[in-house]
Amino acid sequence: MIIEPRMRGFICLTAHPKGCEQSVKNQIEYVKSKGTIDGAKKVLVIGASTGFGLASRITSAFGSNASTIGVFFEKPPTEGKTASPGWYNSAAFEKLTNESGLYAKSINGDAFSSEIKNQTIDLIKADLGQIDLVIYSLASPVRLNPNTGILHRSVLKPIGTTFTNKTVDFHTGKVSEVSIEPANQEDIDNTVVVMGGEDWKMWMNALNEAGVLSNDAMTLAYSYIGPEVTEAVYRKGTIGRAKDHLEATAFEITKQLESVNCKAYVSVNKALVTQASSAIPVIPLYISLLYKIMKEEGIHEGCIEQIQRLFQDRLYSGSKIPTDDKGRIRIDDWEMRDDIQEKVAKLWKEATTESLPNIGDLNGYTNDFHNLFGFGFDGVDYQADTNEMVDILSIT
């Protein structure tokens, strides 16, 4: 079939298997070009199919020759209907790791469930014995708590007062004003349950109790802080409360796993185009301005550049892992430079539908969004008849 992008709001309803494979290839080639990282050799990535999770799996495998197990919840293809992009990404990753002689297996299912945790533990025991590094990179809007049976839904809302600011429709380039009503306590609580650290802690306890964490293992979750212009709807909103909980959980995990000397960290990453960030009002406008400035300064990074630098310069540099005064790894350091943020704040005031094409990088934003779904890559014939029925080797 001929596969074209079909958009609905901030979601693309189709994904291109060849384009997703090209995306994975490009990321692999970047990691290999940066040389070897003396990192973990047995890695579990929870949320391994897109974004920072996929970049972490690629960096581990092709930067450190690691054996990797990936857990994700993706939609497989059916006749005449494409899979989700994460499915095609994972299929390409397994194909390319196998060709390179590296171990890679995947589990497709609800990572919040006890069933998937147990299935993962069984696979580790059977194939790898123990795990040296656990990456926790889930980005689900809903969570079924396996202990209570309650389905929780996260919300993106400010706390206390209505939030009003600029945003952009990245499909049309129209800059407009958006208002979001404040959250109630139930909204806040649900968002913390979905996006906070509770499930991360449950994973780490389950792995430890099963004896599949190696001594001196490390676990890492990803967070975001961002600038003043987004803080009311992000860091000081419902998602921010969840991120606060996630960051506090790192200390709890480290304390609980003292017996195996497992250290838990949170890495604060850069603002990037992801399916999740595209849904957040204000963020697309901020990113389009940020991209323009960081590209001009020569310090722009996508997911793979960001994670490769995190692994090489922070996690496995041979010296103590540097953290801020709250114990967080700051790989958002280039984004949050004073000079960068001052320029963004200035351009924010100037941003209109008419000015944005000149002062921002909306084309870069839109291209990155299309890339998420396998579209817009050089070397892919998008007019060719393409087989949508692609299997992931380790999933039956």
Residues labelled as active-site residues: 234
- Report residue 175: phi and psi, to 5°: -90, 130
H helices of the chain, in order, are 17-33, 51-64, 85-99, 114-123, 185-195, 198-209, 228-231, 238-256, 275-278, 283-297, 303-309, 338-350, 356-359, 362-372
HSE toward the beta carbon, residue 136, CA cutoff 13 A: 28
Can you say whether residue 257 is alpha, beta or left, with left for phi > 0 and alpha for psi between -120 and 50 degrees?
alpha
Count of CB atoms within 10 A of residue 288's CB? 26
Calculate the dihedral angle through the C-alpha atoms of 392, 394, 395, 396, rounding to the nearest 10 degrees.
110
Helices 17-33 and 85-99: crossing angle in degrees, nearest 10, is: 50
